[in-house]
Structure 1
Amino acid sequence: MNQKEFESVIQLPANIRYEYFIKKVVDSEEVWSLYENGWSVTKDDKGTKLLPFWPKKEFAEYCASEDWEIYNSKSIDLYEFIDEFLPNLKRDGFQPSIFFNNVDSAILEVDVLIEDLKTELEKY
Structure 2
Amino acid sequence: MVQALDEQQIKQILNYDDAQRASYFIKEVVANDEVWILKDEHGCVMLNTEDEDCVPVWPHKEFAQAWATDEWQACQPEAISLSKWFSHWSHGLADDELALVVFPSQNEQGLVFYPDELEQELKNKQKNQSAKGQR
Give how far 1:111 is off. Answer: 1.5
Structure showing greater Rg: 2
Q: Secondary structure at the match of 2:100?
A: strand
Measure the CA separation in 2 of the matches of 1:77 and 1:34.
14
Structure 2: stretches of 5+ with no match in the other structure: 131-135
Q: Residue 120 of structure 2 is aligned with which of 109, 115, 122?
A: 115
Structure 1: stretches of 5+ with no match in the other structure: none
Provide the TM-score with structure 2 as the length reference: 0.87
Measure the CA separation in 2 of the matches of 1:20 and 1:75.
17
Q: Secondary structure at the match of 1:87?
A: helix
Partner amino acid for 1:8? Q
Give how far 1:68 is off. Answer: 1.3
Matched ranges for 1:1-124 at <5 A = 1-37=5-41, 38-46=43-51, 48-103=52-107, 104-122=109-127, 123-124=129-130
Moved more, 25-34 or 37-46: 37-46
Moved over 2 A (4+): none
Measure the CA separation in 1 of the matches of 2:116 and 2:80.
18
Q: Secondary structure at the match of 1:52?
A: strand
Match of 2:133 in 1: none
Q: Alpha carbon RMSD of aligned pairs, Å?
A: 1.0
Q: Secondary structure at the match of 1:33?
A: strand
Provide the TM-score with structure 1 as the length reference: 0.94
Give how far 1:69 is off. Answer: 1.3
Give how far 1:67 is off. Answer: 2.1
Count of aligned positions: 123
The percentage of aligned residue pairs carrying the same residue is 24
